[in-house]
Chain A
């Protein structure tokens, strides 16, 4: 499984159906992201890193796990790039190595009874194996 960064980028493109070269780095996705400054790297920067083949910096980042799939970035993107799909493709690459990021056994037990099931299911489906 020793793939070159270019191969990994191509896999991310295939999984997401997006082309990172389409992005012209206007930053609109980063500007509109509701996660705001917590999103690191911001979407446009993550795409830039992928354009440069610096995949590890994206795959090891926290940002891809903070994406709430709200799709605002893709909706307003002037180039029609959907970053939410790219982030999901990155997560899938990691989750498919059987590594969960949200562990159902370790969720902070605040108001646990209160949170709708919908949130748990969504969260586990996005973030767990």
Chain B
């Protein structure tokens, strides 16, 4: 659709979903490092669609290359039993869109512009923190997705909870805490006039949707994955966009806006 071919990593494994920070942690590094090693045998750039994968892989890679960690690097790679052929740059798909295709390139492929739809781009934690490792955007007011929204013909909404936490995995054991976190994000986006929220992380999307479903189902802001919004503007069909998997259907809203 955007003129780029991605290659699936053969026999990939889970990154672990969360980065372990313990200074003596080896086991937690094995998963992401194996992914990096497999990728290194294939190319220089590893693209992720998910903010969590992005965060974990990027941090594991940075840790591996930190001066003083040579012994740990050796031990982890022994465990992984894969050769690290080269340094792999982990990039989020948003970076591919911005750097390799460019917002002009994206704009030129849009067939169904968003007609000034007010979109709040929600980055959550994993795209921007820790800022030392994930330094591609401002940790308090990231802008990369805002650029995408503008390219798709939408109006990016400046709001103050772009990078606040949705509650993350606390939804498993402390649902009410996670819901409060998520509702604050939604309320703040609404306060600044957003009609829709996009996320870069499946868990953020789930949390923002499920919290609204439980607490304010009658009047919710639809939450799309950024690829769903991209696909919409590029003219994909309702089926291809997978809206049936959303916890809160955006279909009625989008139809009302004339976008479906």
What 0/1 readout, one digit per residue, does chain B (10-27) give for beta carbons within 8 Å of chain A?
000010111111111100
Would you call A3 an interface residue if the criterion is a C-beta within 8 Å of the partner chain's C-beta atoms? no
Would you call A24 an interface residue if the criterion is a C-beta within 8 Å of the partner chain's C-beta atoms? no
Residues of B close to A89: CB separation below 8 A: 21-22
Would you call B173 an interface residue if the criterion is a C-beta within 8 Å of the partner chain's C-beta atoms? yes
Q: Shortest Cβ distance from A122 into chain B, in angstroms?
A: 4
Given A17-B23, A74-B130, A126-B169, verify A111-B210 contact (CB < 8 Å).
Answer: yes
What 0/1 readout, one digit per residue, does chain B (169-204) give for beta carbons within 8 Å of chain A?
111111101101100100000000000000000110
Would you call A107 an interface residue if the criterion is a C-beta within 8 Å of the partner chain's C-beta atoms? yes
Residues of A close to B130: CB separation below 8 A: 71, 74-75, 82
Q: Shortest Cβ distance from B14 into chain A, in angstroms?
A: 7
Would you call B235 an interface residue if the criterion is a C-beta within 8 Å of the partner chain's C-beta atoms? no
Residues of B close to A110: CB separation below 8 A: 175
Contact: A75 with B129, CB < 8 Å? yes
Given A68-B169, A102-B172, A115-B206, verify A122-B52 contact (CB < 8 Å).
Answer: yes
A interface residues, how many (CB within 8 angstroms): 39
Mostly helix, strand, loop or mixed at chain A's interface? helix
Residue in B20, B25, B172 whose beta carbon sits within 8 Å of that of A119 in the complex = B172
Would you call B139 an interface residue if the criterion is a C-beta within 8 Å of the partner chain's C-beta atoms? yes
Residue in B19, B125, B173 whose beta carbon sits within 8 Å of that of A107 in the complex = B173
The CA of A122 and the CA of B23, in the complex, are separated in Å by 18
- Residue of B20, B173, B177, B180 with highest tally of chain A CB at under 10 A: B173
Q: Shortest Cβ distance from A87 into chain B, in angstroms?
A: 9
Q: List B29-82 residues whose CB lies under 8 Å from chain A.
A: 50, 52
Contact: B22 with A70, CB < 8 Å? no
Contact: A15 with B23, CB < 8 Å? yes
Would you call A121 an interface residue if the criterion is a C-beta within 8 Å of the partner chain's C-beta atoms? yes
Residues of A close to B86: CB separation below 8 A: none
Contact: B173 with A102, CB < 8 Å? yes
Known: A17-B21, A75-B130. 14 other contacts (CB 8 A): A14-B23, A35-B177, A36-B180, A68-B169, A68-B178, A69-B125, A89-B22, A92-B25, A110-B175, A114-B206, A119-B206, A122-B52, A122-B169, A122-B203
Binding site for B on A (CB under 8 A): 14-17, 34-36, 38, 66, 68-72, 74-75, 82, 84-85, 88-89, 92, 102, 107-108, 110-111, 114-116, 118-123, 125-127
Binding site for A on B (CB under 8 A): 14, 16-25, 28, 50, 52, 125, 129-131, 139, 164-165, 167-175, 177-178, 180-181, 184, 202-203, 206, 210, 247
